[in-house]
Structure 1
Amino acid sequence: MSATASPKVASKTPAAPPAASAEWTPPPGRLGNLTTVQETALAKFREELRAEGAFVKERHDDATLLRFLRARKFDVPKSKEMFLACEKWRKEFGVDELVKSFKFTELAEVDKYYPQFYHNMDKLGRPIYIERLNNLDVKALYVCTTQERLLQQLVVEYESFLTTRLPACAAAIGHPVETSLTILDLGGVSLSNFIRVRDYIAAATTIGQNYYPECMGAFYIINAPWAFTAVWAAIKPWLDEVTVKKVHILGGPSAYKPELLKQIDKEVLPKEFGGGCECVGGCSMSDVGPWNPAGGKASAISEKEKTVLEQPAQGQVLSA
């Protein structure tokens, strides 16, 4: 699950990741931390894809191939099956053309009913992705957009995540970044509203899990209502075992704020989640982060900075 306005997706392979900082060690199964067996599997996987004409140099670097290998526990035949299914889906879905031409012109209207956005990065350098279901109005949502367009936007955002957001976060933190931290806010959502978007969420989950594997680093479900047991029972079968282990289900503010602040600096966490960030125009529309330092309209500024900016100066009023 992933969406919001983004900078134009890069048309070429991003530059190599920066040299890792001295304090950072690649997690197991990543470049720089592969066992001999894993290195052999990677080489075999790469050569088999080349032999079948399925290898695209511009998209299929070793980090990408390793995502599919990790998703299938370095079983090369299973990884290749998953990879080839993904390539088939990309052609059928028209991913390359969407990246070039898709415009989600209804973003501001959709944001009123189903905010889905990236906002800064956590302490590990991972882009933070947030979905809020508390204002979900399914009827109004499907007046201004369709499930098909929501899924197209989702895919364009996944592509931007890989080609734009991750490289920018890696450059900012000083070591490769391959995953995101997701916050799903269920505050105030009704079970009936969830059921109405169940098909979209199921389709979005399938796309993320099957075609963009190993992109989730941590998933925090917050403000989970009493009825969430039923919701989780509906979602859980769509997820694999590895994904389920990354999910943290938390209750209200007293439960989730301390946990989020362990992972996210207070100044970049939106105020509504216990942080101190108040982007001009709202955090959900700012798209602020290393990939877009000034944000869509303006980056977050402190109350003190606002006061200074709003003071008259030589007969003029300055604005952020």
Structure 2
Amino acid sequence: MAETEHTHQPPLPAEEDILSPPSPEPLLASVEVESVVEAVEEHHSVVTVVEKEGPLTELPQEPTKTLAEAQQVSITLPEREPTESDKSKPVEDKKIPQSLISFKEESNKVSDLSDSEVKALEDFKFLVQEAVKDQTFTTGTTDLPQEVSIWGVPLLKDDRSDVILLKFLRARDFKVKESFAMLKNTILWRKEFNIEELVDENLGDDLEKVVFMDGHDKEGHPVCYNVYGEFQNKELYNKTFGDEEKRNKFLRWRIQFLERSIRKLDFSPGGINTIFQVSDLKNSPGPGKRELRIATRQALQLLQDNYPEFVAKQVFINVPWWYLAFYTMISPFMTQRTKSKFVFAGPSKTAETLYKYITPEQVPVQYGGLSVDYCECNPEFTSNDPVTEIIVKPATKQTVEIIVNEKCIIVWELRVLGWEVTYSAEYVPNTDSGYTVNIQKPRKMTTADEPVVSSSFKIVELGKILLTIDNPTSKKKKLLYRFKDKPYSD
């Protein structure tokens, strides 16, 4: 079988910090792309990446030396300066990820509204203005009109107010009176629920693994993960849902988490003011858990009544067989607009589904990505370091060649979803007098192994690093990898 080669540009060093979640504004996006292209051209002389696909073969049993031995006898070559031909080589433009979301979010800019929508907004603003004067939104007694704010945005003070009011209008199909009634009820509920005090209240951290924010989707929406499987822990379940008082505390905690997340959104026209929701149903307590059903129904009703149009997309992953019945039960409590944002994926399609909306470097490791918290235990990569995806066909070998043109330290990490492959890594010098180094001898990787493999190698003699994945199975596999080069001095 002939080998096919695809040359790619290398990822940029983390310190340049150029790549960031794509902006929904075309102007900003074009500026980012130009910066990336310019930086890649400058960085091109350090490394080149070649991806090769071939049939499975036995690895040659060539004599090798240990990493330490090879570095002791290796020949240090002078650094190669970039040539004019290097600088003039064209750089393939990186495509900005396109949203695959079926539900298209409407613009929140007044200039993009239809005439009827503009009129509805103006009528709505008039009703709000009169209500503020008449103190319709207040529950106490006062002689002066009070400023009314919601999610930290004062109503009718600037164009952020229009964005807020449009959420209520869209939730009620631009029916002004119904939208006003919803806004009024929401403001009164917020006072009754003491939202402003709740935001700063300490409700503990028992549920920090149940609901958490991590990364952004391809359009820049923050992503919120809801992990219901955590409630398999009986102690946590009883502590959260054991009686009505505990369920009310859970409800307050969930509202607090949402409020804090919403206040980080951008309510300016054209800004990101919705959240991408992911609900993980793996090992989720079944429909027989009455306490969970009650709490879920209460939360759903409160969120739908008082937090309109804050979900960009709702993706359910690891969906079990029984959930369809449960969904049928709660579906009548949802609007058709809400249900149109839903996506469902079974266990085998979880990572694939998330990749449609979120890049792998933004997806947490437990869901098939490479996103981990930047810390001392993981000092090399962040969610801003891009990941390359490759499909490894059945019964084939995929090799990633990192050709190094300057002395440096190469750091990489990779994973194959579901593993069941053999992984190896070696360094091959350019000169015949050098030694091939087995950085990682062929190792069979299974689902029980660590999800991500990380390694590094110091290049003191120019050559290439070969990362090889042998897929002996009858199924195609997805390989994710990224690397960077770091300078070093003798």
* Partner deviation per Cα, 1:149-197 (whole Å, 9 max, x = no partner): 2221222222222221x23xx89xx951121111111112242565431
Letter in 2 for 1:87: I
Q: Distance in 1 between matches of 2:105 and 2:277?
A: 19
Q: Distance in 1 between matches of 2:258 and 2:208?
A: 18
Letter in 1 for 2:26: S
SS in 1 for 2:192: helix
SS in 2 for 1:22: helix
Q: How far 1:59 moved relative to its partner?
A: 3.2
Letter in 1 for 2:316: I
Q: Could you tell me which residue of structure 1 aligns to residue 258 of structure 2?
A: 158
SS in 1 for 2:27: coil
* Partner deviation per Cα, 1:220-253 (whole Å, 9 max, x = no partner): 1111111112211222122111011111111113
The 1:219–1:194 alpha-carbon spacing in structure 2 relative to 1, beyond 3 Å, is farther
TM-score by length of 2: 0.49
Q: Could you tell me which residue of structure 1 aligns to residue 351 of structure 2?
A: 257
Q: Distance in 2 between matches of 1:138 and 1:199?
A: 18
Q: Which runs of 5+ in 1 are unaligned?
A: 1-17, 282-287, 291-300, 309-320
SS in 1 for 2:213: strand
Q: Could you tell me which residue of structure 2 aligns to residue 243 of structure 1?
A: 338
Q: Distance in 1 between matches of 2:354 and 2:105?
A: 22
Q: Distance in 2 between matches of 1:93 and 1:302?
A: 50
SS in 2 for 1:30: coil
Q: Distance in 2 between matches of 1:289 and 1:148?
A: 36
Q: Could you tell me which residue of structure 1 aligns to residue 177 of structure 2?
A: 77
SS in 1 for 2:174: coil
- Structure 1 position 33 matched with structure 2 position 132: no
SS in 1 for 2:271: coil
- Structure 1 position 210 matched with structure 2 position 309: no
Q: Distance in 1 between matches of 2:274 and 2:289?
A: 26
- Structure 1 position 42 matched with structure 2 position 121: yes
Q: Distance in 2 between matches of 1:143 and 1:228?
A: 22
Q: Which structure has the bigger radius of gyration?
A: 2
Corresponding residue to 1:67 among 153, 167, 170: 167
Structure 1 runs (4+) deviating above 6 angstroms are 304-308
SS in 1 for 2:320: coil
Percentage of matched positions with identical amino acids: 25
Corresponding residue to 2:26 among 21, 31, 36: 21
SS in 2 for 1:37: helix
Corresponding residue to 2:226 among 128, 131, 134: 131
Q: How far 1:51 moved relative to its partner?
A: 0.5
Q: Distance in 1 between matches of 2:230 and 2:221?
A: 26
- Structure 1 position 102 matched with structure 2 position 107: no
* Partner deviation per Cα, 1:248-307 (whole Å, 9 max, x = no partner): 111113x232221011010110112111113369xxxxxx999xxxxxxxxxx9759987
- Structure 1 position 176 matched with structure 2 position 271: yes
Letter in 1 for 2:262: L
Q: How far 1:104 moved relative to its partner?
A: 2.2
Letter in 2 for 1:223: N
Q: Distance in 1 between matches of 2:182 and 2:236?
A: 33
Q: Distance in 2 between matches of 1:256 and 1:19?
A: 25
Asked whether the equivalents of residues 29 and 38 of structure 1 are also in contact (C-alpha less than 8 Å), the reply is: no
SS in 2 for 1:230: helix
Asked whether the equivalents of residues 138 and 196 of structure 1 are also in contact (C-alpha less than 8 Å), the reply is: no
Moved more, 203-212 or 67-76: 203-212
SS in 1 for 2:263: helix
Asked whether the equivalents of residues 361 and 383 of structure 2 are also in contact (C-alpha less than 8 Å), the reply is: no
Letter in 2 for 1:64: I
Letter in 2 for 1:110: L
Over the aligned positions, Cα root-mean-square deviation in angstroms equals 3.2
Q: Distance in 1 between matches of 2:310 and 2:249?
A: 22
- Structure 1 position 93 matched with structure 2 position 193: yes
Q: Distance in 2 between matches of 1:19 and 1:232?
A: 32
Q: Distance in 2 between matches of 1:142 and 1:77?
A: 41
Letter in 2 for 1:261: Y
Higher strand share: 2
Matches within 5 A, 1:190-229: 190-192=285-287, 194-229=289-324
Q: Distance in 1 between matches of 2:163 and 2:367?
A: 33
Letter in 1 for 2:108: R
**Matched residue pairs, number?**
263
* Partner deviation per Cα, 1:12-50 (whole Å, 9 max, x = no partner): xxxxxx9943388x9535214211111111111111111
